[in-house]
Amino acid sequence: MSGSLWLKVPGGNTLPAIPRPRRTARPAADPMDELVERFEGFAAAAVHPDEIAAILESDGMNDEHIRLTYGRHDSFALAEELYAKVPRSFPEPQSIPDPWKVSLTACLLRGVIFALPGLAYLLGAPLLEGPPDRLGLPAGTLTLLAGALIGWVWDQTLSHRAYSWLGLGDRAAAGRTLLAGAPAGALLGTAAALAVPGGPPFSYVFAAGQALYVGAATVLLVLGRERVLLAALGPMAAGALLTLAVDLPVPVRVTLLVVSLLAACALAVRELPVIEGVQALVRRVRDRTRARPGGGPVRWRTLRRAEEEYAPRGPRLADSVPYGVFGLGTGLLVLYAALGEVLAGGPAEAVAAPSAVALTLSMGPAEWLLHRFRSGSLAGLRAARSPRAFRRRMLVTLAGCLARYLVVLLALGVAGTLLWPGAPGLTGARVAALPLLGAVMWTGLLLQSFGAVRPAAIVCACAAFAQSLAVLTGLGQPRLVQLLVAGAAAAVLATLVCLLLGRATAHR
């Protein structure tokens, strides 16, 4: 016990070494500098200190840790200091794919599909011969126009309802909608044609086939089967082009028409849930026949079952009606563009069929330019730094897309007039009316694509009503009336586009 408390090292000093500071040691780094380096990217892109505070808290830093480590009261005080130390630097967002990019070829294909059925009238022309009707038009024209107009209105309404189901991800419901709506539209189109008296007998048969084709084409186009529909129209289109060089016999003409019609209907039926639809109809009829009101004791029941409380609801029927009104208005405006002078008592030679064909063919480029506008407005949202800058970019994009569409439409109208045998010449009024009508249709479709279909439908319906009233009462010269009506409608729609689409919230 009297020995030394230190361990004796053999051959060495028994005193312990005195600890001295190292000569190479550096002062401890400031934790704040380390934090700045760590969160520099987040802090530079922040627009408010609260964003940095949220990031600090999500990183697990509580107020106690912040006080002990950084000497600040809480995360908000630390965030304010970080926000003050780091200069603002907003990096450009990463390039993301354009959701509105579509193929130009696909859009042009749809435009061709819209116009190809018009070649059927070349094949059926010999069967529609007869004395002119009471307006001086070729025999059967009013019969076919009535069926086509009603079919166009129904097609617009049905297409919107089916597209609404597809947007909800319910392809089966879209198929059931088309299964019920396409035959009903064919019956309505046929009934409208039969309601027009005085046509040749074959015109009613042709109108019935036209109504069936419209229903089948609606099914295939809504379900994205454009190429299939184009293949079905192949025999008819080839035969119509062949008639320009060779006079085909009537049986061959009828055969080509029937083959294309049956092909389109068969392909449409193949895409529809026919068996499921028939089974559902049988079940519904069976349930109604079994239900006997007044039989048995009265039982209390809830108005809505529990499983129906949270069942997904489909699109309302009332939401599809404005699309039909829009189709009616635009259909009448196109009709007056082709037959306005004749319907007002002018000669039959004044039929401007190339204008209607040009408007139909231009629907393909119009659809593509609508997508280009959506792409441009999306790019404007990313690049603009203020609402005024976005509005300016939107107007520039709008003017560019509309100008390109009108150039394409005018080129199609001029080419059609030059190639169409016996077409009336291009006067100043005709040249001015076609772009105005094109502006009405394109701006109306633009509003429709943004969900503002009701204003577009009201404007187009009012324009069609005004022009119909002028034709029926004989008020004014037809071309002048068309210029005034189309110009006023185009101005109103353009104003609506600027007011409704100039807000960034409309492009979400």
Angle at 121 between CA 118 and CA 127, to 5 degrees: 170
Amino acid at 172: A
Number of CB atoms found within 10 A of residue 455's CB: 18
The string of pLDDT tens digits covering residues 399-443 is 999 999 999 999 998 888 888 776 677 777 778 888 999 999 999
What distances in angstroms separate CA 116 from CA 58, 111, 146, 360, one per listed residue?
A: 61, 9, 19, 10
When comparing pLDDT for 469 and 422, which is higher? 469
Give CA–CA dist 266/232, Å, rounded.
10
Number of CB atoms found within 10 A of residue 163's CB: 16
Which ranges constitute the DSSP H helices of 223-320?
Answer: 226-242, 250-271, 274-290, 306-309
Confidence band for 136, pLDDT divided at 50, 70 and 90: low
| Mean of per-residue pLDDT scores for the chain | 83
What distances in angstroms separate CA 479 from CA 168, 204, 339, 489, one per listed residue?
A: 44, 31, 11, 15
Q: What is the pTM assigned to this prediction? A: 0.77
Pick from 211, 445, 481, 471: nearest CA to 326: 445
The string of pLDDT tens digits covering residues 224-242 is 999 999 999 999 999 988 9
Cβ-based neighbours of 254, under 8 Å, separated by 6 or more: 127
The string of pLDDT tens digits covering residues 380-396 is 888 887 888 899 999 99
Instruction: Please give the DSSP secondary-structure letter assigned to residue 379.
Output: H
Look up tokens 């192949």; give the residue: 234
Question: What is residue 214's predicted lDDT score, i.e. its pLDDT?
Answer: 94
Q: Is the pLDDT of residue 133 over 90?
A: no
DSSP assignments along 25-64, one per residue: --PPPPHHHHHHHHSHHHHHH-SSHHHHHHHHHHTT--HH
